[in-house]
Chain A
Amino acid sequence: MQETTLQPLPPVGTRNLFMAFLRIAVAGVGGVLPHAQHQLVERERWLTQREFADYLSAGQLLPGPNIVNVAIMVGARYQGLGGSLAAVAGLMVVPFFFVIALAAFYRSFGEEPYVRQVFHGISAGAAGLMIATGVKLARAQPRQAWALGLVATAFGLVGLARLPLIPVLLALAPIALWLASRTPAKGKQTP
């Protein structure tokens, strides 16, 4: 996260933050991140490409929804706490009511025989998309035994053995960080 830039920052108010994140949210069917990049870097020019990448990787590292973390960081940069709140509100308010409307539809009609089958198909498809996301993430890992072993171990313990998440993470995270700390910053050889 870079907080200092040489150019004077353009005036960005809470209303701008709210509107920008509202646009990101509304455009973001099936993933908001590409829209966030377009809006924040190309359209509003609030962040450079590099800064966006930094914010995003920080947002992914921190617990919590990635895009919400980015909204908090961008909001805080321009307007402090009020900015963060405005950005998160912009991001959430329209999709929240939209999704609730869908949930209300589901609650009323989801158990009708025909609709039910559609939903079963949709659920399987959504699960498949989740698997695709996991495969993409796994492919992005370094091609080293320790990293691929961690992917497989996390999958096996939670997905197959159905162990609870928190103990699994508490056990695996220290091992993962230790292994990562032994990997040199550049070059592909294992230590």
Chain B
Amino acid sequence: MSPSWDDLWPFGARLALLSMFSIGGANVVLPEIHRHVVTDQHWMSDAQFGSLVALAQASPGPNVLVIAVLGYQLGGMLTAAFTMLSFMTPTSVLTYLLTRLRGGERHERMVRILKLGLSPLTAGLVLANGWILTGASGAGYAAYPIALGAAGLALATRLNPVWVILACGVVGAIIL
């Protein structure tokens, strides 16, 4: 069910467009990518998508690498590089161009408003992503208590998230 390059070019364009809406990081656009690769195109299953997102989260480095992991599953190394570049180039160019501008007082007020207004949206979108991924984990209804437990651990302790994820893997091996 791997996509051909005829499908990948439009997918790259879609990633480039989505990246411009990824305020707060790549995780915010995962529900949208899930819709495309799982629901609409059937390029991978729910459980595959969920597992690959988890892999990326448990790895060192920026979260955006989830795009490379999904790309690899779709076609291999070249596809991974392609999806990664599609997703990263537009926002990187934008950020670089903005470093050439200088701010003043007006700029400061604008930044304050942008931050104040957009961060509640980011919070809601990250929650939405967590919720959708819980449903897509492949663990069925058992996913909800596992996810709740992981969230509780992460909020209540300062445990490295990698341990939390691995513990959930052990739980999965035992009860699923």
Contact = CB atoms under 8 A, between A and B. Distances in A.
A151 to B, nearest CB: 4
B60 A26 contact: yes
B171 A121 contact: yes
Interface in A1-37: 1, 3, 25-32
B101 to A, nearest CB: 9
Contact of A118 (B53, B147, B173): B173
B44 to A, nearest CB: 10
Interface in A140-184: 140-142, 147-148, 150-156, 158-160, 162, 164-166, 169, 172-173, 176-181, 183
B92 A138 contact: no
A98 B60 contact: yes
Contact of A159 (B31, B35, B73): B31
Contacts of B132: 159, 162
Query: Does more than half of chain A's interface fall in helix, strand or loop, or is it mixed?
Result: helix
B134 A124 contact: yes
Contacts of A132: 130, 150-152, 154-155
Contacts, number: 401
Interface in A74-91: 76-77, 81, 84, 88, 91
A27 B129 CA distance: 26
A29 B23 contact: no
A122 B139 CA distance: 9
A61 B115 contact: yes
Given A128-B154, A131-B151, A29 B51 contact: no
A136 interface: yes
Contacts of A176: 117-118, 120-121
A134 B123 contact: yes
Query: Among A73, A104, A177, which residue has the most Cβ atoms of chain B within 10 A?
Result: A177
A183 B165 CA distance: 39
Nearest to B103: A1
Contacts of B125: 154-155, 158, 165
Q: 9 smallest A-B Cβ distances: which pairs?
A: A121-B172, A95-B61, A125-B168, A154-B124, A64-B91, A128-B150, A159-B128, A180-B117, A134-B127
Interface of B: 17-29, 31-32, 35, 47-48, 50-65, 68-69, 72-73, 77, 80, 84, 88, 90-92, 94-96, 98-100, 102-103, 111-134, 136-139, 142-144, 146-152, 154-155, 160-162, 164-173, 175-176
